[in-house]
Structure formats: C-alpha cells, structure tokens
Structure 1
Amino acid sequence: MINATNWKKNLYENYGLPDNYTDVSFLEELRKNIKPHSVTVKEAINLGASISIQFSIVILFVIVFIWLNNDWATPNTIFIISTILTIIGYLKYILKSCKMLERVSKDLRTVLIFLAFGYILSPVLKTLTETISTDTIYAMTIFMFLIHLIFSKYGSTNVSLSESLSITSSIFGSLMLTSRLSTPSHAFSLLTVAVQCFVLLPFLLSKLHNKIFISNILAFGTLYLLCNISATLSYVFVSMLILVHFICPLWYIKCQRYKENIYGPWDEAVVD
C-alpha cells in the first residue's frame, strides 16, 4: 500500500488510497480574492439610479392612464405633448448616431407605419378585453409591469432575451389598459405613450451616461404629478427612491467586505 507521505495530485499514482483522500499539500495552491472587483459608491448609486428611472417611467405611464381615464386631459393634448418630447429625445439620440440621413428616413417610415396601423387598430384594441372585469385587467397589468421591472436591462447595453420579455410585457400591460378608456382616440393616445416609454425611451437612455441626473429629473417630475393624485402614493414613492438610491447601494458597499472568491486546485484548467 502506498503511504500518505507519497501522495501526489495525480489520480493514476494514488493506488491504495481512497478516492476522496487529500494531503495537506492539496491546499497549498489555495488563493483568496486574487481578482477582486470592488464596486465603488458612485457605481452602486448609478445602478440604483437606473432602477429608479424604470420605476419612474412606469409610474408616469400610469399617471397618463389616470388622466385619460378621468378626462383630466384630452387625447390630443397627451398626443401632442408626448410627440414633442419624443422629437426632442430623437434629436438627442440621432446626433450621437452615424449615417444620420439614412437613419432618419428609415425611422420616419417606421413612424408612419405605426401611426397608420395604430390609429386603424385602436377601435379593435379598445374592445379586445372589454368583456374581462376591470379588477382582472388591473391585476394583470400590475403583473406585467412587475415582469417589465424585473427583466429590464439596468447595467448591460446589449439587447437580450430578458430585454425583449420586458418590452413585450409592458406593451401587453398597456394594451389591456386601453379597454378601460372611453374612446378609440383615448386608446390610441395611451398606446402611443406606451411605445414611447417602453420601446423608444430605452434606446435614448442607452446613449446617456449620467443616470443620476436623469433619475433626479424623472423622480421630481413624477413626484410632482403624483402629489396631485394621492399623497399616500407620493410618500410610498419617496420611500422607494430613498431605498433604491441610497439605502440599498450603501448596504451593498458595506456587504462587499464579507465577499470572498476562493481559487484552488479544483478550478478548471486555463490555457495561458
């Protein structure tokens, strides 16, 4: 029988010893935190700002629905304001893109197709889920927006399956809300805002790097509009902002000291 003193880290030489036997020398190559990646406070707060932006966008969309549903604003007013904001954002986006003229002509055709089909299909979309109870519609919409928030891309700039799921769920939730409005014009205005918020706006945000500044603008605008609807919801929104912007990032920074990456002989071989 081979003695333990002759043990080597070679399976074909370890005859006579149990398969799970290890010598003290087995852990000689153990290393801890050889490639540490510590997230800075600014990076953590910036990621929190990205999450806050998505919350604000969803709440702003719900506010637009409440305005249309209560006739606090006409569909034409909502459509004109959202169109102006979209044009401003598109100019900001197109200035950072190459082949500007070719891109503008292609996007213009896409917009015309959407406006034509969206306006024609608005009566159909409005009556699509009219037979479903309002409570079910609201519950399904909340569920769809939760999926949108969970699968939105917060750090990565690449389009992935999760991003497609996020966009699909948000648009589906928006379509269900259109059946609660009074006229097809209301439905078309809400559908336009949904496309602008959940499809077009993420492309603009991917070109902008100062997430904290954008988050503050959206947060203050959302809070101002939310105060006119419900004081309780305003307090909840402020609490959420404090949690996402400050408490969670600082808590994550504090927990980094307990993180340990262990590297040893059990790792896969890497070609140098």
Structure 2
Amino acid sequence: MDPDRLAPEDAYYKSPPRRPRQHSPLGLGATDGAAVSARKRREKERSASRRRKGHYKKLLWFKQPFPDNYTDEETFLDHLQRNPRLQPYEFWSLMADSTVIVQHIASVAIFCCCFVAIGHKRVSPVSVVSWASLCTVLGWALWDYWMGQEEAEAAKAAALAEANEAEEMNQQRLATAKSALLIYAALLGLSPILKSLTTSTASDSIWALSTWLLCMNVAFFDYGSGTGAHLPASISTNSALMASTVLASRLPSTTHVFSLTLFSIEVFGLFPIFRRQLRAISWHGHLTLTIVLIISASGGVFVTLTGGGRGAWIAGVILGGILTFLSMGICSWWLIGLQKYKNEIHGPWDPARPIIRRRWD
C-alpha cells in the first residue's frame, strides 16, 4: 500500500476495534505488548512527519501532515487576482454602442411629437399612419431580403434543395400577411371601444400614466446586439402599447384612435426588430438611421415646444444634434472613469464555477 495515500484506519482517531483478545495466565493480553509497541511506533512516525513538513498541496485525498483547516500563508495569496474579467472600455466603441439607446429614445420622442401634432390638428392622422405604413412595408421587404440571403447561405452549407427553401419562404410571407390583416381588422373593430376607454378618467391622470409607461418602455428595452427578443423587450413593448392606448383614447374620433394605435404598433413593435437586424447586417446603415432619427426627433421636439415652423425645425436639429453628441461623449467618459473604482477580487478561496454543457458530444 502506498504510504502517501489515505488508509481505512486513518478515519479513526484511535485504533480501530479489534477482535476479543485471549488473556494470559498473568492477566495480560497475549497481544498487548505487540499492540502497544505498534501504537507507539505509529505515534512516533506521525510526530516525526509533523516535524518535517513538506510542501502543502490542496488535495483532500492526499495524506499530508497538516490539519484539515490548515492555511499555507506562504502560498495562499499566490493566485490572488484583482479584476480578472475587466475589459477596459474605449471611447469610440462606447460612442458606437450608445447609438442603440439614442435610436430608441428618438423613436419615443417622434411618437410623442406625432401624438401632439395629431391632437392639435396640425397634421392628419391618416397621413402619419400612411407614411409609417409605407416605411414599414419597405423595411419588411428589406428584412425579408436579408432573411432570404441568410437562409440561402445556410442551405448551401447544408446542401439542401432550393425548392424546399423557396416553399418555406413563401409560407413565412403568407403568415406575415395574414398577421398584418388580422391586426388591421382587430384595430378597426376595437377603435370605438378604445375611444371611450378612459372617458371617466381625468386628463392629468392620463398624462401621468402615459409618461410612466413610456419611461418603463425606455428602461426595460432590450438594448443588446442580439437578433432575438427577451423578456425585458416584451415588458417594454407592452408598456409602450398601453401608453399609446390611453393616449389614443383622448383623440376626437375613431379614425384618430385607429391611426395612432396602428402607428404605435409599427414604432414600438416592428421598428425595433428592423433596427436590430440593420445593426447586425450593416454598420453604415445603422449609423445613417441614427442620424435620421436624431434629426427627426430634435426638429420635432423643438417645433412641438415652440410651435414654430421651418426655422424652429432647423434650430432644433442643430441644437438637438449638439446636445445628443455631447451627452453621448460625456456619458462615455463618465463610464470610462468609473472603471478605476472597480475592485473585484478572486482568490483560491472562491468556489468553483461549474461548466454546464448544453450539448453532449
């Protein structure tokens, strides 16, 4: 037996129980002398091993002359790490990532400006929803083209038949058209109900409720770069649609209600999917869309607040663009400066992190 490995008798503090001993005529056990000598010999060996302590190893199954709660002060902090997973931020990369937040805030601002303009009868609700629907159809066509390219590349890699791929794409297009018609018909039927939904509610309560719901939309929006939707995105979408519903109930006719509700579905439900896919496909297209949204939101907000015309629009675009760029830069520098306060320590006392395999080879 290897003396460096744990033996069964090491589990006892004393010697393990033995068979009943035979007594000698003198009253002493026949094997007492041998047992006592063996016990003394083991104690001497253990004391000698404690005196000549070797290198400590973090192995419980290995027999060592150290107690279980022993701490090796010389090597305990050798593996100490400070901020091992820290990834230093770069200014321009943070500026690029912040465009996702700017796009969504600009979309919310554009929706609010359109609501105010429709409520004050500055623009026709039919024109607003018509232009939005046209942009939605164009965006869907572009998105369908991207999906077709991705599936074509996947089909080539998997050596699938082109006929099956075309049939699948046609089924997806047909399902999308059916969903659009269903939403359109549902809104037409629900518009009279939505118009009288908050008749007994004060306007101040409506403004406060819609403000909180839009703030929830901004706070819980999924700003990740992935193309899939997660739970926070669902909460964000639901809160925005609820805000548009209560706002639409303050409009004068069912046509206004229908137009604003359909416009909110396009802005808060479909437009984020297009923005996320555009960012994954083309960075230049994503940057161009960001600039267009900043110009539209800045000019619209300034015109809404001042009630001016083209001059107010130009002034709003210039002022809003400068403020947006400065806000992005200040927030990026602030986040970079906060990294010096990060102090995450990892050492040998940390618990092991299991690696969960999702697929078994």
TM over 0.5: yes
- Aligned equivalents of 1:263 and 1:95: distance in 2? 48
The structure that is helix-richer by fraction is 1
Asked if the contact 2:82–2:344 (Cα under 8 Å) also holds between the matched residues in 1, the reply is yes
For 1:101, the equivalent position in structure 2 comes to 170
- Which residue of 2 is the match for residue 146 of structure 1? 215
Aligned partners of 2:244 and 2:187: how far apart in 1?
13
* Residue in structure 1 matching 2:229, options 154, 159, 162: 159
Displacement of 1:172 in angstroms is 0.5
For 1:164 and 1:29, locate their aligned partners in 2 and report how far apart those are by CA, in whole Å.
Answer: 43
Match of 2:346 among 250, 263, 272: 263
Q: Structure 2: how far apart are the matches of 1:119 and 1:187?
A: 9
Q: Structure 1: which amino acid aligns with 2:94? A: A
Q: Which amino acid aligns with 2:213?
A: M
5+ long unaligned stretches in structure 1: none
Aligned to 2:300: 225
Structure 1 Cα separation of the partners of residues 222 and 347 of structure 2: 33
Deviations 1:175-221 (A, max 9, x none): 00011100010000000110000000011011112343322210011
2:36 maps to none
Which amino acid in structure 2 is aligned with residue 269 of structure 1? Answer: A
Equivalent of residue 68 in structure 1, options 93, 106, 118: 118
Q: 1:39 aligns with which of 66, 77, 89?
A: 89
The alpha carbon displacement at 1:269 in A equals 2.3
Count of aligned pairs:
268
Equivalent position of 1:118 in the other structure: 187
Q: Which structure exhibits the higher relative contact order, with contacts defined as CA atoms closer than 8 Å and separated by 6 or more residues?
A: 1
Counterpart mapping for 1:117-196 below 5 A: 117-157=186-226, 158-196=228-266
SS across alignment from 1:230: helix
**Aligned counterparts of 2:135 and 2:334: Cα–Cα separation in 1:** 36
Q: What does residue 55 of structure 1 align with?
A: 105
Greater C-alpha Rg: 2
Q: Provide the rounded CA distance (Å) in 1 between the counterparts of 2:124 and 2:69.
A: 86
What is the aligned partner in structure 1 of residue 330 from structure 2? 247
Alpha carbons of 1:264 and 1:231: their partners in 2 closer, same or farther (altered >3 Å)? farther
Which region of structure 1 is more displaced relative to structure 2, 77-86 or 237-246? 237-246
1:79 Cα deviation from its structure 2 partner? 2.1
Q: Structure 2 counterpart of 1:81, which letter?
A: W
Shift of 1:23: 2.7
Is the deviation greater in 38-47 or in 177-186? 38-47
- Aligned equivalents of 2:121 and 2:335: distance in 1? 44
- CA distance, structure 2, for counterparts of residue 56 and residue 10 of structure 1: 58
**Which of 197, 206, 211 is 2:276 aligned to?**
206
Q: Is the 8 A contact 1:47 1:154 kept in 2?
A: no
Contact conserved, 2:225 with 2:276, CA < 8 A, in 1?
A: no
What is the Cα deviation at residue 236 of structure 1? Answer: 8.9
Q: What TM-score do the two structures reach when normalised by structure 1? A: 0.86
Name the aligned partner's letter for residue 173 of structure 2. Answer: V
Q: How much has 1:133 moved relative to structure 2? A: 0.6
User: In structure 2, what residue type is equivalent to 1:140?
Assistant: L
Alpha-carbon deviation of 1:223? Answer: 1.4
Cα 1:250–1:106 shift into 2, 3 Å: same
Would you say the 8 A contact 1:48–1:244 is kept in 2? no
Q: Distance in 1 between matches of 2:118 and 2:77?
A: 67
The whole-number CA distance in structure 2 between the counterparts of 1:106 and 1:231 is 45
- Alignment partner of 2:179: what SS? helix
Closer, same or farther in 2 for the Cα pair 1:238/1:143, shift >3 Å? farther
Q: 1:237 to 1:133 in 2, by over 3 A?
A: farther
Percent identical residues: 24
Q: For structure 1, which segment, 138-147 or 102-111, has the greater mean C-alpha deviation from structure 2 after superposition?
A: 102-111
Distance 1:31 1:242, change over 3 A: same
Identify which range, 21-30 or 229-238, moves more after superposition: 229-238
Tell me, what secondary structure is at the counterpart of 2:147?
coil
> What TM-score do you get using the length of structure 2 for normalisation?
0.66
CA distance in 1, matches of 2:353, 2:113: 54
